[in-house]
Amino acid sequence: MDDTKRIVNKSLLTDIADAIRSKEESSAAITASDFPARILAIETGTEPTGTATFTSNGTYDVSTYASVVVSVPQNVSIPTLNAPSISRSEDTISLTNPSTNGNYNTGFRIYNDSELLFSQTSTSFSLINKLAIGDYELYAACYNGNNQFNDSPKSDTYIECSVFGLTRELTETTASNSTSKMSDGLDYTVTFTPTWGWWLPVNVHVYKKDNSTNATYTETTDYDWNQYTGVLTINDLDGNIRIVCDSEETPQLQSPEVEIEDIGLSTQIVSVGTVRYAQEYDVYYDNTLIDTIAYESGDTLAEQISADTVTVTSAYVVTMSNDDLSSSRASNKSANITHYLYLDNVLVFQEKEGI
């Protein structure tokens, strides 16, 4: 028998045609010779792969995914921390967590008005270490680093403060510190030392300006300066400071005044000025030596003198900031000293003495 010719049961052909029509969702008759092409044209679908993740409620087609992950957060209200308190002592800002927050407060956020400056876990900070030069209104808020609580409101009170800059312009002079910033209201003290062979000036120059954008430096006299110790003090700082100290090649000492005031039958020796020195006075009346008085700054001595005219000669020893003129020997004379003697507040004697 020819292999290409077979007898096929009619019911089998009908079943195959019905299966094709079922897959195609068709109803027309199909000839047996079209069976292969019609079968190959039937769509068989693809194997599901991958994972679908859904984070919100809704209806989704998941037929092409092998697995599905649903992660929809619950609608839970997160509590809010209570506000901290904030205070200042000199350059230090302190932050206090209210007891009602318990251990849920893990740190503080620091604001300048509404601007967030930084966050920290410690309960204090230094103004000059944390802040740039400028003017501030500092608030604080509590926060929870584990997102279990909302940040607290800002503190009810704020700290109004400023940070100022400090610069020094020195000639043949060194400074005892290099402080570049200070917070407002504090006192600044620095000691200047001249290069060996040079001398501190009679005056330094101090300039000040505020933190406004167009501010310029203006010279001020709000400071204390001691030419002999080299100590400069600026109290209650309220602006940016620029200090100019130019040491000189020749000594320029301020002259102390010695004043004799007549008090009845006695005379009181008074020192005017800031120089530290020891003195010895020879007091004459009508060119006759009456007495020799040993005197040191701060003492008050009285000698019974009844005279219309008093003549005094003195040997000074001045404590200098330069070692080459510091000595306790009476033979060392002070530089640029003028002796002033007064009787009943009238100048009766004046004599200038050099080295």
**Domain membership flag for residue 288:** yes
DSSP codes of every residue in 311-329: EEEEEEEE--SSGGG----
Write phi, then psi, for 128 (nearest 5 degrees).
-75, -20
Check whether 336 has a pLDDT greater than 60: no
**Domain membership flag for residue 176:** yes
Mean pLDDT of 243-260: 69
Q: Among 227, 246, 265, identify where a domain stops.
A: 246
pLDDT at 337: 46
85-89: strand order across its sheet: 85-89, 92-96, 124-126
The segment with the largest mean pLDDT, out of 37-46, 69-78, 181-190, 196-205, is: 181-190
Domain total for the chain? Answer: 4
Tell me the per-residue pLDDT of 147-159, one tens digit each, with 9 for 90 and over. 889 999 999 999 9
User: What CATH number is given to the structural domain containing 176?
Assistant: 2.60.40
**Domain membership flag for residue 65:** no
Instruction: Of 226, 217, 227, give the one whose Cα is nearest residue 165.
Output: 217
58-94 as b/e: b if 16+ CB within 10 A:
eeeeeeeeeeeeeeeeeeeeeeebbbbebeeeebebe
pLDDT at 347: 59
According to DSSP, the β-strands at 173-175 and 134-143 are unpaired
**Domain membership flag for residue 77:** no
Q: What span, in angstroms and rounded, lies between the C-alpha atoms of 135 and 267?
A: 56
pLDDT at 4: 55
pLDDT confidence tier of residue 266, bands split at 50, 70 and 90 = very low
Instruction: Of 233, 206, 202, 234, give the one whose Cα is nearest residue 218.
Output: 206
**Domain membership flag for residue 73:** no
3-state secondary structure of 342: strand
Could you tell me if 181 and 231 lie in one domain? Answer: yes
Could you tell me if 324 and 296 lie in one domain? Answer: yes
pLDDT at 256: 44
Predicted TM-score of the model (pTM): 0.55
Q: What span, in angstroms and rounded, lies between the C-alpha atoms of 312 and 351?
A: 10
Mean pLDDT of 320-340: 39
Tell me the per-residue pLDDT of 4-21, one tens digit each, with 9 for 90 and over. 556 667 777 787 778 778
Tokens of 212: 């406004």
- Contact between 67 and 52 (Cβ < 8 Å): yes
Which uninterrupted H or E stretch holds 87?
Answer: strand 85-89
* Residue range(s) defining the domain that contains residue 137: 85-157
Tell me the per-residue pLDDT of 123-132, one tens digit each, with 9 for 90 and over. 999 999 999 9
pLDDT at 41: 76
User: What CATH number is given to the structural domain containing 110?
Assistant: 2.60.40.10
Q: Among 246, 273, 295, identify where a domain stops.
A: 246
